[in-house]
Amino acid sequence: MVAQSNDIFVGPEDERVPLWRYMDFAKFVSILTEGGLYFARVDHLGDNFEGTHAKGVQPIDLSPPPQVDEAQLRDAIKKSRVLARQTSRELKTRIFVSSWYMSEHESAAMWKLYGFNEQAIALKTSFRKLKFQLPADVFLGMVRYIDYEKDFIPGGNFWFPFVHKRKSFEHEREVRAIFAYALNRVPETKIGEWRKVDLQTLIDGVYVAPTAPAWFQELVSSTSSKFGFAFQAHRSSLDQDPLW
C-alpha cells in the first residue's frame, strides 16, 4: 500500500519530516480499537471554505469578442457560478480527509488548539511512513495557504480546491491524506470512515500533553498494551525544565 502523490498532491523535499496528530484520549482509544486512521467527510471539518474556489481570477484576457451579447454572457457566467457551487456542495459529501501537522518539533499552539485539556495525546510519525501505510486510493500532500480574496486556485481538476486553505489556517502546517467516493456511491449519513493501517509500524511515538498528570501518562501506556501495541507514552518535551 502506497498513497499517491502527483503535481497536485506535493510532498516535502525530505519525506522523513515528522508529522503529528493531536487528539483527546477518546479518539486515541478509537484508533487503537479500529486499528486504523479516521477520515472525516470534508463538509464536517468546520470550515465553510473547504472545497471552494477563491475570488482571484486567472491572469488571462477574459473580455468577450465584439459579436458576443454581453447580457447573454453575464447570464452564462451567473449560471456557471451556480453550477460551480452545486458541484462544490456535492463533492464535499464524497471526499474524506485525515489531517496531520508537519514540523520537526511539537507545537505549543497545536496542543492548545487540538488537545483541549491536560488529558491530550499526540501521535508522531513521518511523511514517508504515512505514505507507505495508506491504501493506494488515498492521495497525500501538503496544503497550500492562500488569500481567497486575491489569489487564484487552478481549474481543470476537482482536487485543487481541496489542497488549498485560507492563510488564517497557515499555523496548521497541514499535510492532508484524502480520498473520494464515486458519485452516488456514498450514503448521506456517512460522515467518516476508518482505514486500516499497521499502527505499530506507522507510529514513532505517543506523547501526552505538557500538563498531563503522571497517572494519565501511565494510563496511555497501559491502554496501548491492552490493545496489543507496544506504545510507551512520553511526556511532551515542552514540559522540560530549562538548562539554567
Residue 4 DSSP one-character state: B
**Rounded CA gap, 220 and 233, in Å?**
6
pLDDT of residue 26: 94
Q: Which whole number is the average pLDDT over 174-201? A: 87
pLDDT cut 70: percent of the chain above it: 80
Predicted confidence (pLDDT) per residue in 206-221, tens digit? 999 998 999 999 999 9
Which secondary-structure segment (H or E) carries 113?
helix 108-115
pLDDT per residue over 87-126, tens digit each?
566 778 889 999 999 999 988 888 887 655 788 999 999 9
Q: Which residue has the higher pLDDT, 72 or 78?
A: 72
Q: What is the average pLDDT value for the chain, to the nearest integer? A: 85
Task: Tell me if 96 sits within 8 A of 192, measured CB to CB.
Answer: yes
Query: Highest-confidence range of 4-18, 24-38, 175-189, 229-243, by mean pLDDT?
Result: 24-38
The pTM is what?
A: 0.84
Retrieve residue 2's grid coordinates: 502506497
Query: Could you tell me if 203 and 100 are in contact, meaning their C-beta atoms sit under 8 angstroms apart?
Result: no
Q: How far apart are CA 115 and CA 21, in angstroms?
A: 10
pLDDT band, residue 61 (cuts 50/70/90): very low
Q: Which residue shows C-alpha cell 467516493?
A: 181
Pairing of strands 139-142, 144-146: unpaired
**Confidence bin at 4 (pLDDT 50/70/90):** confident
Q: What pairing do the DSSP bridges indicate for beta strands 192-196 and 174-180? A: unpaired
